[in-house]
Amino acid sequence: MSHIFVGMSGGVDSSVAAALCQEQGYEVTGVYMKNWTRDVGGVECPWRQDLADAQSVAAQLDIPFKIFDFETEYKDRVVDYMLDEYRAGRTPNPDIMCNQEVKFKLFFETALEEGADAIAMGHYARAWDGRLYAGVDTQKDQSYFLHRLKSDVLARTIFPLGGYSKDAVRKRAAERDLPTASKPDSQGICFIGEVDIKTFLADYIETEPGPIKHYTTGAVLGEHAGAAFYTIGQRHGLHVGGALSNSNHDGLPLYVLSKDMAENTVYVTENLTALMEDTFIIGDTHWINEPPRTAGDAYYVRTRHGGRLTPATVDNVDEQTAEIRLAQPERALTAGQFAVVYEDAPEGLRVAGGGIIRA
């Protein structure tokens, strides 16, 4: 019998993952990762409740339970990364970095050191033979967030929920009468939950007000609270009246097109075509098994979680970069975000890897 350490966050997904591993005959140990305990923006961090919920599920399943304290490493590897990216004017994805550096590195390594044969997580994805596949529920699929995992880690990772829908998971939790069966899903960025990102960033990043200018005319249309707070394609929260004031463009909404961090200026446009791109470069690339093959081979690319899968080619691949050519333009490609590359396989949609979108 294999010994599985299951990451238990106190939510319904990881609770059912632990229950399924137990049903499948594994020796199961539940583990809560203590990653973040600070209150944000006057909102109490829910970690104590999450820990209590995870402990309650473990007690009901009658499995051993551990706490792994990664708070220092989490701050260094995830939070500081996020803050540095925002300071540089980019829009990061801390959930992906959390998976890369904490859940599937620190947790994985510590679990094996303490006697685990493998780990299990409550993500909606599938893995076997060191390869990563999308979950069968296309609405809940989380493979986008997992594309930077290594093949040797995937070979010793179980995703029990990969073949389930969210409704089916809720049903299994109710059938087992798990304490988390009706617990709402967490929302927002991994560690700050529903707290507004600007509220969080304001505690860590020094910013100054600056002009919001029209990209073409250079006209000052308003004032921003700090360029770091804005992302490409953003429409709401600009506080410029929502439209250009001149008669030629009256009534058209405005979108963030670019930012000049050195000049502390946010540029906006009413022209959606200016936000569309079909060719871009990704850097800091990671390929799970092998890099893309012959130039011109067909792949699919997703440029944001929940975004569409767009047919694409991946060319000019070297050790750090690759060129993505989309069959259809995407709106608001954002520096700092990740583009994830998928390919068809007999077992289903397989994740090849991806990289960080460059400006």
**Tokens standing for residue 196:** 């507004």
Asked if residue 16 and residue 145 are part of one domain, the reply reads yes
202 lies in a domain?
no
Q: What would the pLDDT profile of 119-158 be if each residue is shown by its tens digit?
A: 999 999 999 999 999 999 999 999 999 999 999 999 999 9
Compute the mean pLDDT over every residue in the chain, rounded to the nearest whole number. 93
98 is catalytic: yes
Residue 197 has pLDDT above 60, yes or no: yes
Asked if residue 39 and residue 117 are part of one domain, the reply reads yes
Amino acid at 339: A
Mind giving me the DSSP string for 296-327?
Answer: T--EEEESSTT---EEEEEES--SS-EEEEEE
Q: Which residues pair with 310 in a beta bridge?
A: 301
Give the model's pLDDT for residue 51.
97
201 lies in a domain?
no
Tokens 């690319």, located at residue: 301
Asked if residue 216 and residue 173 are part of one domain, the reply reads no
Asked if residue 245 and residue 300 are part of one domain, the reply reads no
Triad 133, 90, 326: Cα angle to 5°: 50
Give the span between the Cα atoms of 292 and 309, in whole angstroms: 17
Give the span between the Cα atoms of 236 and 255, in whole angstroms: 8
Of 163, 196, 229, the last residue of a domain is: 196
Q: What is the pTM of this model?
A: 0.94
Q: Which residues pair with 66 in a beta bridge?
A: 31
330 lies in a domain?
yes
| CATH number, position 31 | 3.40.50.620
174 lies in a domain?
yes
Structurally, how many domains does the chain consist of?
3
Asked if residue 292 and residue 171 are part of one domain, the reply reads no
Give the span between the Cα atoms of 314 and 298, in whole angstroms: 8
Q: What would the pLDDT profile of 36-70 be if each residue is shown by its tens digit?
A: 999 887 778 889 999 999 999 999 999 999 999 99
121 lies in a domain?
yes
21 is catalytic: no
Give the span between the Cα atoms of 73 and 107, in whole angstroms: 11
**Tokens standing for residue 357:** 């979108």
153 lies in a domain?
yes
Asked if residue 214 and residue 175 are part of one domain, the reply reads no
Asked if residue 283 and residue 262 are part of one domain, the reply reads no
Which residue range is the domain that position 247 belongs to?
A: 207-270
Give the model's pLDDT for residue 194.
67
291 lies in a domain?
yes
**Tokens standing for residue 350:** 């397989």
Q: Which of 116, 190, 240, 254 is catalytic?
A: 190
Tokens 């002009």, located at residue: 211
Of 270, 300, 318, the last residue of a domain is: 270
Categorize the per-residue pLDDT at 203 as very low, low, confident or very high, splitting at 50, 70 and 90.
confident
Backbone φ, ψ for residue 210 (5° rounding): -155, 175
Asked if residue 215 and residue 129 are part of one domain, the reply reads no
Asked if residue 265 and residue 281 are part of one domain, the reply reads no
Q: What would the pLDDT profile of 240-297 be if each residue is shown by its tens digit?
A: 854 555 434 556 899 999 999 999 999 999 999 999 999 999 999 999 999 998 777 8
Of 196, 223, 256, the last residue of a domain is: 196
Give the span between the Cα atoms of 142 and 305, in whole angstroms: 8
**What HEC string does the chain produce?**
CCEEEEECCCCHHHHHHHHHHHHCCCEEEEEEEECCCCCECCECCCHHHHHHHHHHHHHHHCCCEEEEECHHHHHHHHHHHHHHHHHCCCCCCHHHHHHHHHHHHHHHHHHHHCCCCEEECCCCEEEECCEEEECCCCCCCCHHHHCCCCHHHHCCEECCCCCCCHHHHHHHHHHCCCCCCCCCCCCCECCCECCCHHHHHHCCCCCCCEEEEECCCCCEEEEECCHHHCCCCCCCCCCCCCCECCCCCECCCCEEEEEECCCCEEEEECCHHHHEEEEEEEEEEEECCCCCCCCCCCEEEECCCCCCCEEEEEECCCCCCEEEEEEEEEECCCCCCEEEEEEEECCEEEEEEEEEECC
Asked if residue 183 and residue 300 are part of one domain, the reply reads no
Q: Which of 31, 97, 98, 153 is catalytic?
A: 98
| CATH number, position 345 | 2.40.30.10
313 lies in a domain?
yes
Asked if residue 105 and residue 229 are part of one domain, the reply reads no
| CATH number, position 215 | 2.30.30.280
Asked if residue 264 and residue 280 are part of one domain, the reply reads no
95, 11, 100, 17: which is closest to 47 by C-alpha?
11
